[in-house]
Amino acid sequence: MTAPARAPMSGKAIAHSQFDRAANLINLESYLRRILLAPFREVQVEVPVRMDDGHIEVFTGYRIQHNGARGPCKGGIRYHPEADHDEVLGLATIMTWKTALMDIPFGGAKGGVQVDPKLLSQLELERLTRRFTQRIAIVLGPYRDIPAPDVNTNAQVMAWILDEYSNRQGYTPAVVTGKPLSLGGSLGREEATGRGVMYVMAEYARDFGIPLKGSRVVIQGFGNVGGHLARLLDTEAGAKVIAVSDVNGGIVNESGLDIPGLLAHAAQKQPVSEWKDGRAITNDELWEIPCDWLVPCALGGVITRERNARSIDCKVVVEGANEPTTPTADSILEERGIPVIPDFLANAGGVTVSYYEWAQNLQQYRWTHEQVNKELKATITKAYTTVRDLAKQKAATFRTAAYAIALQRVAEAERLRGN
């Protein structure tokens, strides 16, 4: 008998599902559970945009600040047709745990506009970004809330936000991170999330005896996170990236893909499945490929009970994307003995280097690329080690241990501030 289909779990539900487990682990007071489960502030705006043909379209946008006890709120802005209140709230919540786990002085926020940016011209995209910024500017600021790129937004979008905000407040580079270098962006920011994933994998590899060199990696998504990760695993870690995918499908080559060639191919906006040197596969087939490391780096909710949690054939799942694993799938993987390195540890490199970018902007001083990478490695490795040790001590999963550490830090800040 096949299992009855269930409605997919919302981003908020995924983000909250592990909360009680971790809160119980640290005996968190009930009033703090209530504070930390709810967002501090939610802003929803309607964003009218004049399209190139003269008519006006209205898009819905969100900026949700989940918690700011440890510092200004921090989190990306995504442009996606499915960006809604629930998704943005879930992602904002994860940002609180991510910044706390990395022990950087930020809280958590996220923004989103419900739009398919592929249907917009560059000028329409700029007008949308400027109007959205005007509508949420009141809750932004270098000591209040600092956006960054996320799915379908990039350094150019951040430059428009910086310009729009600075037009009113005076030059304020620290109001966004992930900016172009020439506007105060940080060296190493663009690759930081992929680089952080690689550093975490390297630590895990050493601790659990799955040497990265020569190991087989499958990556879903070949954008910022997946693309840089593939490149770094290939060039710096000597791993064999055997399959990658994008929204249109995937490509597999058991001997290892030619990653520099594939990146150049993808940079020409060509689907990875049309790369000459491998076998094209569907997005569903990607999950079945036997490998050592399976790294989802696309969207949330892609590893589910119904789709693939029972058929995935890897030694470790590393969450490059945010919320790729539903809680039910997470339990199935746990039952099957497949460890999961959770998103807010694995993909925290981006926000960590965003912190360095913000600090550089406030100092008006640029760090070298080497300095950025060295600090990133130290910060993410320290977080990894803390999680690994607590997981061992409490016989908990990495996800529960990471949650417990993050919750403890945020709760402590709340208590010290008198809440």
Instruction: Please list the active-site residues.
Output: 110
**Among the listed residues 158, 321, 383, 413, the single contact to ligand NAD using CB under 6 A:** 321
- Closer to ligand NAD by Cβ: residue 93 or 193: 193
- Residue 99 contacts ligand NAD per CB under 6 A: no
Range 67-103 burial, b when 16+ CB lie within 10 A, else e? bbbbbbbbbbbbbbeebebbbbbbbbbbbbbbbbbbe
Site pattern 210..229 for ligand NAD (x: CB under 6 A): ----------xxxxxxx---
User: Backbone phi, then psi, for 219, in 5-degree steps?
Assistant: -125, 125
Q: Give least dist CB 371 to ligand NAD, A.
A: 19
- Closer to ligand NAD by Cβ: residue 49 or 92: 92
Q: Give least dist CB 209 to ligand NAD, A.
A: 27
**Among the listed residues 299, 345, 401, 413, the single contact to ligand NAD using CB under 6 A:** 299
- Residue 308 contacts ligand NAD per CB under 6 A: no
- Residue 379 contacts ligand NAD per CB under 6 A: no
> Which stretch in 199-207, 293-301, 304-312, 389-397 sits in contact with ligand NAD by CB under 6 A?
293-301
- Closer to ligand NAD by Cβ: residue 136 or 281: 281
- Closer to ligand NAD by Cβ: residue 71 or 320: 320
Q: Which residue is nearest to ligand NAD (CB)?
A: 223
**The Cα angle at residue 104 between residues 102 and 107, in degrees rounded to 5:** 100
Site pattern 122..151 for ligand NAD (x: CB under 6 A): ---------------------------xxx
Q: Give least dist CB 360 to ligand NAD, A.
A: 17
Site for ligand NAD in 151-170 (CB under 6 A): 151-152
Q: Give least dist CB 231 to ligand NAD, A.
A: 13
- Residue 322 contacts ligand NAD per CB under 6 A: yes
- Residue 350 contacts ligand NAD per CB under 6 A: yes
- Residue 347 contacts ligand NAD per CB under 6 A: yes
- Residue 247 contacts ligand NAD per CB under 6 A: yes
- Closer to ligand NAD by Cβ: residue 47 or 295: 295
- Residue 325 contacts ligand NAD per CB under 6 A: no
**Among the listed residues 115, 298, 340, 390, the single contact to ligand NAD using CB under 6 A:** 298
**Among the listed residues 73, 297, 314, 387, the single contact to ligand NAD using CB under 6 A:** 297
Residues touching ligand NAD: how many (CB under 6 A)?
25
- Residue 232 contacts ligand NAD per CB under 6 A: no
Q: Give least dist CB 225 to ligand NAD, A.
A: 4
SS3 annotation, the chain: CCCCCCCCCCHHHHHHHCHHHHHHHCCCCHHHHHHHHCCCEEEEEEEEEECCCCCEEEEEEEEEEEECCCCCEEEEEEEECCCCHHHHHHHHHHHHHHHHHHCCCCCEEEEEEECCHHHCCHHHHHHHHHHHHHHHHHHCECCCEEEEECCCCCHHHHHHHHHHHHHHHCCCHHHCCCCCHHHCCCCCCCCHHHHHHHHHHHHHHHHHCCCCCCCEEEEECCCHHHHHHHHHHHHHHCCEEEEEEECCEEEECCCCCCHHHHHHHHHCCCCHHHCCCCEEECCCHHHHCCCCEEEECCCCCCECCCCCCCCCCCCEEECCCCCCECHHHHHHHHHCCCCEECHHHHCCHHHHHHHHHHHHHHHCCCCCHHHHHHHHHHHHHHHHHHHHHHHHHHCCCHHHHHHHHHHHHHHHHHHHCCC
- Closer to ligand NAD by Cβ: residue 323 or 414: 323
Do 28 and 18 form a contact (C-beta atoms < 8 A)? no
Q: What is the dihedral of CA 308, 212, 319, 291, to 10 degrees?
A: -10
- Residue 114 contacts ligand NAD per CB under 6 A: no
Q: Which residues bind ligand NAD (CB under 6 A)?
A: 149-152, 193, 220-226, 245-247, 283, 297-300, 320-322, 347, 350
